[in-house]
Each structure stands twice: as C-alpha cells, then as structure tokens.
Amino acid sequence: MQCRLGIREGRRGGAPPGLVHCAAMGRSQVAVLRVSPGNILQDLDRLVELGGAERALDPGATTILKDNISWHFPFPGANTTPWQLEGTIRALSARGFDDQVCVQNRTVVTDAFKGEDLNGYTPIFQAYDIPVRYNFVPEDMSWSVYEPKSKLHVLHDIFPEGIYIPDDFHGKNVVHLPTVKCHIYTTTTGAMKNAFGGLLNSKRHYTHSWIHQTLVDLLKIQKEIHSGLFCVMDGTTAGDGPGPRTMRPVTKNVMLASEDQVAVDAVAAQMMGFDPMSIEYIRLAHEEGLGKGKREDIDVVGDADLADERWGFTVGDNGASMIGDIMWFGPLKRFQKLFFHTPLVNLFVFGSEAYHDYYRWPFRDKKVFDAWRRDTPWGRLFDDYQRRGALAAGGAGAEGEGGAKDVTGG
C-alpha cells in the first residue's frame, strides 16, 4: 500500500504526477512462480495475488489489458499466451476488477486481427465478455497531444509536432502481458517495452535509434496518466536468441508479476543471464527512481529460488537485425529521415514482411512451432485452447503436464 499511497499523496499535495514514484519509497516486490499446464489458472490466481495487483490498481477505474503480439503467427515465446490472458482476466475479476478492456495495436510486421485469432485470444474475449479496442482504428480511439510533466529524454525531439497518445488511456489501469524473451534492439523485452505499441502511434519507428531512452520516457508518461500499473509476464516458454520473433523457444515453466515495471524486467533479464544494470533502459529507469533495477533492491516472493537461475540466453542476429543495425545504429543512421520518414519506408515494410511471413515462417519457424505443439506440455495446452476456446468456459481443467523438454530451432 505504501507505493500507491505515495503516488496519491504526491498528487493531493500539489506535486506533479510522476515526481513521486513507487520504487523510490522502498524496496520493490516481484512474484516468481513455477507453474504447470495442469494447474495454470490456479497458478495465475496465486501469481496475481503475490504480485500485489490489488495494491497496484485502482478498483474504481477501467483496467486495460495490454497483450503482446510480437508476431501474428503463434510462435512460442513471442506472444501473450492464451492461458496468461485467461488467467489474468479471471484473477482480476475475482478481486473486483470487472471493468476490463483489451487494447490492440499493430506494427509493420504484425496484423492485430490475425494475431488475436491465430493466438487464441478471440474465444477468451467472447467467453469473458471482454471488449476489444484497436488504437489504430479512429472509431475505437482518438489521439491528442500530451505534454508530460516529467522531463523527457528524447520524445520531444523525435516528435516536435507533439507527443500524441490515446485519449482513452488517461485515468485507466493498465496490466501488461509480455513474455520473457530477448530483443535484437533492447537485449530483453518485457513490461517497459510492452507500452511501446499502445502509447505511441504508427510513427513509433522514428524512435528506434533512441529506443532505450524512449522506453524510459514512456514509463514516465504511464506513471502520470494511469491510475495503476501491473505486469503479468509469461516465461512458460521463453525466447532465446534474436527476438522478438525468430527465437529459440525453451521450456522454463515460470511466470512473474509485479507493480514495478522496472523490477519485473530486471528479474526476468537476470534469469535470462543478463546483468540488468548493463541494459540501458533498466539502468536509466533505476537511476531516475522509476523502479528498481538492482537485484539487491528487489524482494522476490513465491518460488524465490527460480530468480537465482541463469539460463545463459544470448541475443545474436537475424536478417532483420543486420539491416536494422546498419540503418538505425550504424553508418546510415544520419539518413534515417530519408529512409523512414518518407514513402521509402514502404520498401522496408515490404522487406520485413517478406522476410518474416514468406521466408521465416513457412520455411523455418513453423517447423519449430509444430515441434513445440507436439513435444511440450505447453504446446499441447495451446492445442487444448485451440479446441476449447477457454479452459474454464469449457468446464474441465487443463490437460496433464507430460514430460517437459526444450524445443530449439532457427
């Protein structure tokens, strides 16, 4: 309760929102649990409880479910899982957060409609009567210029015409639903990166050269406009390698939750084998009091021993990252306004779609997906969702675990 009251007292006392931050008032708490397919909805209920959702969220506000569709194809480890979505909806509802809405965004390589269908979200939305709104559909959501009260790193310079954010995000709770995975531009991706698609419009690719600072700026904005923040992160199948799409899925049977977006990203990063404070967006957020990035400042509850695991993940490169390194961070960075702020950007959009959807998926990554479905308990649970739509709505529990094993592929 200390964190939430601290933010509210800052506002009542006249201090600008965002100046009194949760993690600045003490230690942060991250829940880490070992989970199983046969008990997944109960596991998620316990995770949400241990993570402190009731402390983090305003019971009188609408709660936005911000899922993570990194690729519309259901590649393991890339996207919010159907059990993560269903379990979070149920756990929040059980604690009085009944007014829930899902907000979707699209990217140059992601079709939101295709993604929510192929990943099994649509039957869950229908089963629990969760409305879905699309931040790129004018009838669903309007955008207005927002002037942050906090000092930002880069967004004012990147968007001199003004920082546009969705009008409907003001005064709402947000629950982020990322996965534990690597990212070619940010090393890891999780709670903080998940705000990227929801808060910024179709010009968000302008920020790639300054992505770490952008994520910190977005967290500052979130703390100003939202009534509460929470994260439920899925590591049942984690993504090793050049994410967020073309990865090596590894069964890890773990999930995390916290109200501190920095701390949950830091714990996940360390479990993957990275030093959290060597990742710029985590370090900057920690240094600016937006959350805790140092492990010694974080209390792990639940199955605390899991947080001591080190998986030895590495990022590496794929075809998309090699082009991006040259264009966003390399010798051609100075020409990015020519390439990405003009119709020439469509050449890169076409190239990315061709690489991911017409080369990687049919010739390489669908084989990895099929092996995951066949050989792992989480893949079989995914198939169960495909057949039944929603576990609880189907009446029976999930299938048994079976023998877990890692699935790798390139």
Q: Sketch the domain layout of the chain as residue ranges.
A: 2-394
Closest by CA to 136, choosing from 199, 62, 81, is: 199
Strand partners, 69: 79
Condensed to tens digits (0 to 9), the pLDDT of residues 187-197 reads: 999 999 999 98
143 pLDDT above the threshold of 60:
yes
Condensed to tens digits (0 to 9), the pLDDT of residues 355-390 reads: 889 999 999 999 999 999 999 999 999 999 999 999
pLDDT (0 to 100) of residue 36: 98
Sign of CA dihedral 226, 234, 115, 349: positive
Q: pTM to 2 decimals?
A: 0.87
117 φ/ψ angles, rounded to the nearest 5 degrees: -75, -55
Reduce the DSSP state of residue 390 to 3 states and report it: coil
In angstroms, rounded to a whole number, what is the distance separating the alpha carbons of residues 22 and 25? 6
104 φ/ψ angles, rounded to the nearest 5 degrees: -110, 150
CATH of domain 2-394: 3.40.50.11440
Please state which of the ranges 331-335, 386-390, 392-396 shows the lowest mean pLDDT: 392-396
Condensed to tens digits (0 to 9), the pLDDT of residues 116-135 reads: 999 999 999 999 999 999 99
Residue with the larger pLDDT of the pair 16 and 112: 112
In angstroms, rounded to a whole number, what is the distance separating the alpha carbons of residues 391 and 89? 12
Alpha carbon dihedral 284, 287, 288, 289, in 10-degree steps, equals: 120
pLDDT (0 to 100) of residue 234: 98
